[in-house]
A = this chain, B = another copy of it.
Amino acid sequence: MKDGPDIAYVASLIGEPVRANMLTALMAGRALTASELAHEAGITLQTASSHLGKLEQGGLLRQRKQGRHKYFSLASGEVAATLEALMGLAVSAGHLRTRPGPKDAALREARVCYNHLAGEMGTRLFGGLVGRGLLVTQDEDVRLSAAGDEFVRAFGIDLDALTAKRAPVCKQCLDWSERRSHLAGSLGRALLDRFEALGWATRDGKSRVVTFSAKGRAGFEGLLAG
């Protein structure tokens, strides 16, 4: 009947294959131009423009103009979380777009989710920080303990800059491959950025895959162990 939010409208936006490809591409966290997204999805620029307009109107994308370029990114972490939830359903129903291959394994091990680390490494990181008492969970909220505060600063992250902003510092995000939470929020983003800056991890330019260097793996395990 006619009560509740219009779920069909949003779902139909995501349900078009080309638009789903665009959204999946944007799950990598980088803002992409209309041309890049068109190329990514294998369609012309006119068609892409139409799709992007609908996605923006539906509140799934945000866009900012920069010169003659128009950069698109996911509107919020909630959008990313919903996409992950849909991926979970697709997996459990056995609907993969491709046979599980090497790329699939890499995705499960470590990938970018919007702007933070997901996959096995992501959930291990979350679990490790909680285990060391640096993160404290209460209901569905997460926050840094005093020790965690100190740890984050020592790791080279400007925590004051994060807390100054309105966006939540710590947030949980559910994994389609692991079925466990990993750390989102501005701290989740800052940690992944720091991993990159330290040369621990590199993002693939084309996909969501994150690859860790030998040094990175060692450092990562050190983090978990304390």
Given contacts A14-B15, A85-B82, A181-B139, whether A104 and B6 have CB atoms under 8 Å apart is no
Which residues of A, 20-59, contact B by the 8 Å Cβ criterion?
20-21, 23-25, 40-41, 58-59
- Residue numbers in B under 8 Å from A95 (CB-CB): 5-6, 9-10, 58-59
Chain A interface size band reads 35 or more
Neighbour of A137 across the interface among B23, B76, B88, B139, CB < 8 A: B139
Q: When chains A and B are docked, how far (Å) is the Cα of A107 from the Cα of B41?
A: 39
Say yes or no: A78-B82 contact (C-beta < 8 A), given A3-B98, A94-B59. Answer: no
A7 and B83 contacting across the interface, CB-CB below 8 Å: yes
- Copies of this subunit: 2
Task: Let me know if A140 and B11 touch, CB within 8 A.
Answer: no
Q: Mark A89-110, 1 if CB is under 8 A from B, else 0.
A: 1111111111000011001000
| Most chain B CB inside 10 Å of its own CB: which residue of A87, A107, A172 | A87
Cross-chain contact A20 with B11 (CB below 8 angstroms): yes
Q: Which of A25, A139, A206 has the most CB of B within 10 A?
A: A139
Q: Is the interface of A mostly helix, strand, loop or mixed?
A: helix
A2 cross-chain contacts in B, Cβ below 8 A: 97-98
Determine whether A154 belongs to the interface, using a CB cutoff of 8 Å to chain B.
Answer: no
> What B residues does A60 contact at CB under 8 A?
89, 93
A66 contacts the other chain (CB 8 A): no
Which of B5, B13, B58, B90 sits near A9, CB closer than 8 Å?
A: B90
Beta-carbon contact of A40 and B1 below 8 Å: yes
Among B13, B86, B181, contact of A82 (Cβ-Cβ < 8 Å): B86
B-chain residues with CB within 8 Å of residue A93 when the two chains form the complex: 10, 58-60
